Structure 1
Amino acid sequence: MVKIGQRALLVIVREKPMGVFLDAENLGEILLPRREMPKEWGIGAVVDVFIYLDSEDRLVATMQHPRAMPGEFAKLRCVALTEVGAFLEWGLPKDLLVPFREQKMRMEVGKDYLVKILVDEKSGRLMATTRIARHIDLEPVEYTTGQEVDLIMYGKTPMGYKAIVNGMHTGMIYENEVFQNISLGEKLKGYVTMIRVDGKIDICLQAPRKERVDDLEKQIMGELVARGGFWAINDKSPADEIYEELGVSKRTFKQTIGALLKKRIITQTEAGIRLN
């Protein structure tokens, strides 16, 4: 079944001065405007198109790809304000409407906003919302500790950063576990550290502990060899210095140093660490 807000492979069935018409099965025939037509085409040819409603609520097809599909989150720029709401640029001839009721705060032209793209069930119109919380945590949480997940950063609190996990759930990255600049709307990879009683998810940006420690051991030993067997860094070094040198938290660094000391691969002094 062909649906509004989705891509489909449709057959060209006839030509008119304004473009060609495509057989959209249950939706009838849909116009692919002449400016959108491929360079080479013919009656009976199949084209890959996205279907939506134009500014006059007529079904229309485009070969262009929107920056995000309905059901997905995206960071988009506000390009216009009207009496019905704000409009975002999203890669199609018709900008994407954010009705006033779907704006958590009034939007401003020139600013970027994280939104979820929706299809209005009654009208079939495509729109977006900044009311993110309404559209996450609707499905049961089924993650395992250490699982890699896709993140979209969407909020900052005194505790840390709120993230959308795999497009479905709320996750938290605690402030003391963040050692890089993060911007809202940014897409990152993360790892599940805990599922809380309330169903929320704790996330870190580094790989699971054992893998991190194993990789970091090799990295530290490689650095020691390259530096002639001594490195002026130890578990008393400032956290920002450790992150700048190795890209990990001080806690992870201390765990790794402890493992190397236990294996008697290195010794540690107030001046630094040394290969045995």
Structure 2
Amino acid sequence: MKELGKISSLVITRFSPNGAYLALEEGGEVLLPKGYLKGNEKEGEEIEVFVYTDSEDRPVAVTQIPKALLDEFAVMEVKQVTKFGVFVDWGLPKDLFVPNAEIGRRMEEGQKHLVRVCMDFRTNRLIGSNKYEDFIYRDTQGFEPGDQVDVLIFELTDLGYKVLIEGSFEGLIYANEVFKPLRIGDVVKAYVKKRRDDGKLDLQLTPMGREKYEEGAEKILEVLKVRKFLPLHDKSSPESIKELLGMSKKHFKQSIGQLYKAKMILIKDDGIELV
């Protein structure tokens, strides 16, 4: 079935007490249960649905969109652990099953893991895999230092946060370079710092070079427009700067230096204020 695991626009062919039947591209029908109907649908109307299998392994259509489609990744919470595998929440009434053969690291109830939605061709069912390394691209030649990318934060290690870059590459944001709260499952913008020999990428949350200071200066200006005065200066502790602005002390000093040269702020003994 071509529609399995994907979002498709299917035509309503008929109605029954259980819901509406939709025509599949290669013939046959799939049921859209009554609970997903608004009540004003008509035969011949196209409706956008996601097709997967229900608890009895029968194809079923829903109007809900899961956290990940076929061949996509998402961070999913473990809902149940069994002797055959684990069930994870992917945003649908029926949890996604990750069989033992697809568990690459220990998964416990309540934990969040990076899971890829896959097709089990033996059973023609959708399953999950947390062996993400099997699907990661190693060739990162297309990335250059300074490139902006979208990343999914999926694991916290002693070094920092492991991230999935553009849905296909692995990277790391070092913990000592993070100055704002990050959670597993967050999607944020990051910047390529360097390309490592193993193909993975080191990233940072702020732009590189002069752009970094311009971004920091802009943030300080935005805060000053609201507060008028900030009790921060050269001798302020790194902790107080991080708490108020979410940046390092070095970044703060470079940013206020830029603003001062532009005659946009006054630097006083007890803080800074707008000119």
The separation in 2 between residues aligned to 1:171 and 1:215, in whole angstroms, is: 23
Shift of 1:145: 2.7
The separation in 2 between residues aligned to 1:182 and 1:244, in whole angstroms, is: 14
The 1:94/1:157 distance shift into structure 2, 3 A limit, reads closer
Residues 1:251 and 2:259 are matched in the alignment: no
Shift of 1:260: 5.9
The 1:190/1:140 distance shift into structure 2, 3 A limit, reads closer
The separation in 1 between residues aligned to 2:75 and 2:130, in whole angstroms, is: 10
Structure-2 residue corresponding to 1:91: 91
Structure-1 residue corresponding to 2:158: 158
Contact 1:2 1:27 in 2 (8 A): no
The separation in 1 between residues aligned to 2:23 and 2:197, in whole angstroms, is: 50
Contact 2:192 2:204 in 1 (8 A): yes
Identity of aligned residues (%): 37
The 1:220/1:127 distance shift into structure 2, 3 A limit, reads closer
Contact 1:12 1:47 in 2 (8 A): yes
Structure-2 residue corresponding to 1:18: 18
Residue identity opposite 2:246 in structure 1: G
Aligned length: 273
Structure-2 residue corresponding to 1:65: 65
The separation in 1 between residues aligned to 2:115 and 2:121, in whole angstroms, is: 18
Matches within 5 A, 1:16-55: 16-55=16-55
The separation in 1 between residues aligned to 2:11 and 2:273, in whole angstroms, is: 70
Whose radius of gyration is greater, 1 or 2?
Answer: 1
Residue identity opposite 1:238 in structure 2: S
Stretch moving more, 166-175 or 186-195:
186-195
> RMSD over aligned Cα, in angstroms?
3.3
The separation in 2 between residues aligned to 1:264 and 1:39, in whole angstroms, is: 63
Residue identity opposite 1:177 in structure 2: E
What is the TM-score when the length of structure 1 is the normalising length?
0.82
Residue identity opposite 2:240 in structure 1: E
Shift of 1:242: 2.2
Matches within 5 A, 1:189-208: 189-208=189-208
Stretch moving more, 33-42 or 212-221:
212-221
The separation in 1 between residues aligned to 2:263 and 2:77, in whole angstroms, is: 55
The separation in 2 between residues aligned to 1:232 and 1:9, in whole angstroms, is: 56
The separation in 2 between residues aligned to 1:266 and 1:20, in whole angstroms, is: 64
